[in-house]
Structure 1
């Protein structure tokens, strides 16, 4: 799709379950009893290339259905996240728009926390894409604390998974956007990270400026976002768990911290200071007119005009 030789993509939200967050774990200040039920959003991105081939990407898979398919440690953690709903899930949401998992070329995970991984076994023909360091995290997460920090070592299908290259040294390179003879024909996840504007590390997967994977460090090793051009001069930024609450984006709240049973200070972000830097970049994007959608963006979801943004509703 293009106007004035500027390729763009379609981005639709997908219902992928709901969960309830105790606010004190996410924002400060917050009362001990404050809780908020939020969506776990997924997104369908559709790109049409120069030979009219459509590539379909799903960004995150939301909650797993049924939740009893999660490992026991995660099931125990889920007891703290009720009320919770695992339907409609991503598979059902795609079906509303007459797509099946067989139609999805790539599943891109923002990160591998339980409320984003869904059921990868349902996407048995898709290639999975994860941020750098994800495979190491799945093997060993002993440095992380909290009940949410349990990961399945065999989560990803080895033969169908692409782990993006390390980000080391990426900011020293110049962007090559638009220079490839294969622009827009097929996605290339093997490229090095390069700057895009004030974003220090991005990968322009179609090399036509329509879909950029953005390194978004702080929340979890391998955390990535997507910047998509959705029309002439229009952009949507899918922020994953870079931020959990828009009050933080508006500087009305700070990132929450708490003490665990051993007295250690915990944070929902693995690196709070780095998360704050990432949030500052995202806030700058939003101030420049980019639409920002968080994975648990209940404020975005509740706006009536966004109901038509869900796949299959229009």
Structure 2
């Protein structure tokens, strides 16, 4: 039977390991729709969640966090992000990722492994709240972490600089040595239950997560900032190529490499046609509205998708 997708995912093995995936509250940010969706009105200022996730290997009990959403202490935000808090990107953070984890019984003081999808402020959260954690990033993030000062590129000034290097592990390109469809992937637990997916185009080092959610072929794809609205992977909207930055008056894109980002979006949309794959964006306001305060949030879990 065809999956509806143009490529196949790895078939389950005997006694296949899989993961329990839970959403974490990570605050909310205004993301004006016209920055991301072609033809949207510039008055459409949607408030979106910044979702984080808790992932547990159901066989071994190993745990990992994917992203941290927003941090409550906005003084730690990168330079350009702080400048936009009162205008373009106001934030509301009644509960951050540490609050969400501790609500489910996981201490922020524990030796967590935390995968950072990329260095934008609404995904890095406040690393200082996790003093014993190891932060896992793609190698390309390292160049942005070290770029400070007046001569630093704009993408570095909008990237968080507060991830501690002495607690960081950078994955080189060579580690992404498992080919799944069009993607280069890293087998995180070494048992085929969860992969970190190289997801280029949005920002250097941008990664997604592909995790099995059952032993018989269900998956979840945590797409981070691959797209900022569901319509862009659901076939009912086009990516905005350029918008006018109200601070500079110049045209810019939400992605550093738009053609590559568009290719990745197309691949995610293709994957979404597989009836046993659930694709979830970090800022999916529609999913959040339907599921907030419900069993998909930690200590509950997102159910496996069935065909």
1:137 shift after superposition = 1.6
- Conservation of the 8 A alpha-carbon contact between 2:84 and 2:90: no
User: Aligned ranges for residues 1-314 of structure 1 at < 5 Å?
Assistant: 4-49=14-59, 52=60, 54-81=61-88, 83-140=90-147, 145=154, 149-153=157-161, 155-166=162-173, 191-196=175-180, 198-231=181-214, 232-256=216-240, 257-260=242-245, 264-289=250-275, 290-304=277-291, 307-313=294-300
- Conservation of the 8 A alpha-carbon contact between 2:147 and 2:153: no
- Conservation of the 8 A alpha-carbon contact between 1:105 and 1:126: yes
1:150 shift after superposition = 2.1
3-state SS of paired residue (2:109): helix
Count, aligned residues? 284
3-state SS of paired residue (1:112): coil
1:124 shift after superposition = 1.1
In 2, distance between residues paired with 1:305 and 1:68? 28
Q: TM-score, normalised by structure 2?
A: 0.85
The change in CA–CA distance for 1:119 and 1:34 in structure 2 (over 3 A counts) is same
In 2, distance between residues paired with 1:152 and 1:302? 28
In 2, distance between residues paired with 1:76 and 1:264? 16
Q: Deviations over 1:209-233 (max 9, x none)?
A: 1010000000000000000001121
1:270 shift after superposition = 0.5
Q: Deviations over 1:24-46 (max 9, x none)?
A: 11111111211101100000001
The change in CA–CA distance for 1:86 and 1:249 in structure 2 (over 3 A counts) is same
In 2, distance between residues paired with 1:65 and 1:305? 19
3-state SS of paired residue (1:10): strand
1:152 shift after superposition = 4.2
In 1, distance between residues paired with 2:255 and 2:127? 24
- Conservation of the 8 A alpha-carbon contact between 1:215 and 1:223: yes
1:157 shift after superposition = 2.1
3-state SS of paired residue (2:195): strand
In 2, distance between residues paired with 1:217 and 1:37? 25
Q: TM-score, normalised by structure 1?
A: 0.83
Unaligned runs of 5+ in 1: 168-190
